[in-house]
């Protein structure tokens, strides 16, 4: 059984109040960890009996493995509950997901990713994490068809040389040297210019990279200040990290992570504010949707009233959740995708078994629920085994005549099981 050789970190992703239950699930599989001082949601592994990505908590989207430094940009942007945030270069979704946690279910986060394969990864990660108040789009970040001054908070983590990841990618500094970096510097400036256009007066943009290259960091801060009129806002150092002094004057208050002394990737973070006060937002010609009543999603252990404010709409055979803030913010011509809830067929919506965000407490499931104590039973279900509801430890705990029931670990919602022939089984749709 191997001890974790490095300070691997992760975020707990669950509704407030369920953190101890997620920790109990991890402990039940032999993982040990300690709090990270940077955020109440973050933990650092101290014992990893098997890869954390193969844990039950990871399978059900209750944790997200993320480098410590990568957690800092969302904390620097610091969205408040209910805020709307644009993440301009979002895949794989590490920062997008954290922003959604910080903004809360009353907030909204739009993740943009132009690359088709990376966009698919972003969507899958947000889906696994059960973050229905997110949406995605696939535009070139330097030319987003959105109104001027329409966002109060923007996250910009552009393509970069990645010098800060040299411990994991030893060849990265050989690949990105000299003139090879110039195209990256150019695209970063185009993205910064677009962020300045989209930012409302008084709004904030956080610019971050996972490189230690001064051309992509401090020189970009000075360019954005001089050419775009963005005003740098000093960031307080985050607890648990060691920071180097910025390498150019005029960049005081930006953060350059000392990778070796922080046990993390090299990272650079700068926060800007746009001068002026925000006027009332201009009305947009909002997207028109043919919604369906959310009660069509109701099931024995699926409560659609737990979804945030928004609409449920059908797009072909897909039932999608469209956050209300997205409907209010995005022009009708803007192409975007909401959060997938499940499949529709013959007038019936089959909600995905992964929708734990719609699961009420176990004792409130109308026809009972499987509330298990040991992780081995859950692992068995995921490997294709089933549970006999007619006899054994769980006989009588669930109405076996229904099509599905909820799966809980000591009260922690995990997902929903299909019932077939009075046996419960995990069945992804």
For residue 2, count CB atoms less than 10 angstroms from its CB and return exposed for 0-12, middle for 13-18, buried for 19 or more: exposed
User: Which DSSP helix (H) or strand (E) runs through 75?
Assistant: helix 72-77
List, in sequence order, every residue forming a beta bridge with 233; answer none if it has no partner: 271
The alpha-carbon radius of gyration of the chain (Å, integer) is: 23
Catalytic residue among 137, 210, 251, 357: 210
Which residue has tokens 């490095």?
A: 6
- Does residue 210 have an active-site annotation? yes
- 3-class DSSP state of 120: helix
Given phi > 0 = left and psi -120 to 50 = alpha, else beta, which region is 125? alpha
Given phi > 0 = left and psi -120 to 50 = alpha, else beta, which region is 289? beta
Helix, strand, coil fractions of the chain, as percent rounded to 5:
30, 25, 45
Spell out a b/e string for 362-392, using b for 16 or more CB atoms within 10 Å of the CB, else e: beebbbbbbbbeebebbeebeeeebbebeee
Alpha-helix runs per DSSP H in 245-333? 259-262, 324-329
Q: How far apart are CA 209 and CA 254, in angstroms?
A: 12
Q: Could you tell me how many residues make up the chain?
A: 429
Q: How far apart are CA 419 and CA 429, in angstroms?
A: 13
Q: How many CB atoms lie within 10 A of CB 226?
A: 10
Cα–chain center distance at 207: 18
- Cβ distance 79 to 99 under 8 Å? yes
Q: How far apart are CA 370 and CA 398, in angstroms?
A: 7
Q: How far apart are CA 155 and CA 116, in angstroms?
A: 20
C-alpha dist (Å) from residue 411 to 58, 68, 360, 371: 17, 29, 10, 6
Strands (E), 57-167: 63-65, 84-87, 108-112, 134-137, 151-156
Q: Two tokens at 312?
A: 């449920």
Residue 13 sits at φ, ψ, to 5 deg, of: -125, 100
Residue 152 sits at φ, ψ, to 5 deg, of: -85, -25
List, in sequence order, every residue forming a beta bridge with 138; answer none if it has no partner: none
Q: Two tokens at 165?
A: 């990841």
Residues known to be catalytic: 210
């Amino acid at each position: 059984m191997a001890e974790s050789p490095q300070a691997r970190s992760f975020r707990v992703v669950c509704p407030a109040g369920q953190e101890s239950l997620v920790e109990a699930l991890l402990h039940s599989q032999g993982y040990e960890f300690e709090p990270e001082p940077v955020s109440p949601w973050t933990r650092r592994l101290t014992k990893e009996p098997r890869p954390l990505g193969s844990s039950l908590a990871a399978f059900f989207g209750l944790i997200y493995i993320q480098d410590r430094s990568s957690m800092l940009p969302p904390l620097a942007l610091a969205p408040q509950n209910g805020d709307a945030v644009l993440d301009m270069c979002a895949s794989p979704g590490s920062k997008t997901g954290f922003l959604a946690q910080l903004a809360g279910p009353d907030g909204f986060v739009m993740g943009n990713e132009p690359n088709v394969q990376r966009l698919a990864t972003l969507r899958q990660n947000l889906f696994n994490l059960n973050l229905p108040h997110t949406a995605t789009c696939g535009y070139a970040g330097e030319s987003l068809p959105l109104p001027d001054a329409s966002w109060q908070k923007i996250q910009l983590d552009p393509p970069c040389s990645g010098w800060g990841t040299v411990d994991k990618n030893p060849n990265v500094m050989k690949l990105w040297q000299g003139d090879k970096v110039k195209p990256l510097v150019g695209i970063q400036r185009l993205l910064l210019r677009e962020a300045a256009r989209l930012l409302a007066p008084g709004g904030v943009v956080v610019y971050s990279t996972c490189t230690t290259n001064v051309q992509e960091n401090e020189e970009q801060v000075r360019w954005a200040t001089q050419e775009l009129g963005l005003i740098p806002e000093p960031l307080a150092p985050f607890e648990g990290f060691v920071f180097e002094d910025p390498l150019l004057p005029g960049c005081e208050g930006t953060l350059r992570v000392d990778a070796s002394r922080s046990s993390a990737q090299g990272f650079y973070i700068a926060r800007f504010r746009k001068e002026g006060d925000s006027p009332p937002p201009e009305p947009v010609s909002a997207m028109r949707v043919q919604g369906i009543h959310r009660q069509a999603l109701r099931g024995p252990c699926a409560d659609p009233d737990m979804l945030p404010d928004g609409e449920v709409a059908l797009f072909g055979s897909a039932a999608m959740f469209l956050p209300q803030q997205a409907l209010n913010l995005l022009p009708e011509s803007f192409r975007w995708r909401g959060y997938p809830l499940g499949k529709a067929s013959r007038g019936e919506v089959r909600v995905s078994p992964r929708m734990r965000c719609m699961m009420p407490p176990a004792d409130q499931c109308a026809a009972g629920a499987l509330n298990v104590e040991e992780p081995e039973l859950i692992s068995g279900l995921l490997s294709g085994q089933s549970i006999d509801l007619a006899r054994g430890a769980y006989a009588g705990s669930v109405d076996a005549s229904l099509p599905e029931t909820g799966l809980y670990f000591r009260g922690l919602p995990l997902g929903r099981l299909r019932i077939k022939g009075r046996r419960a089984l995990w069945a992804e749709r």
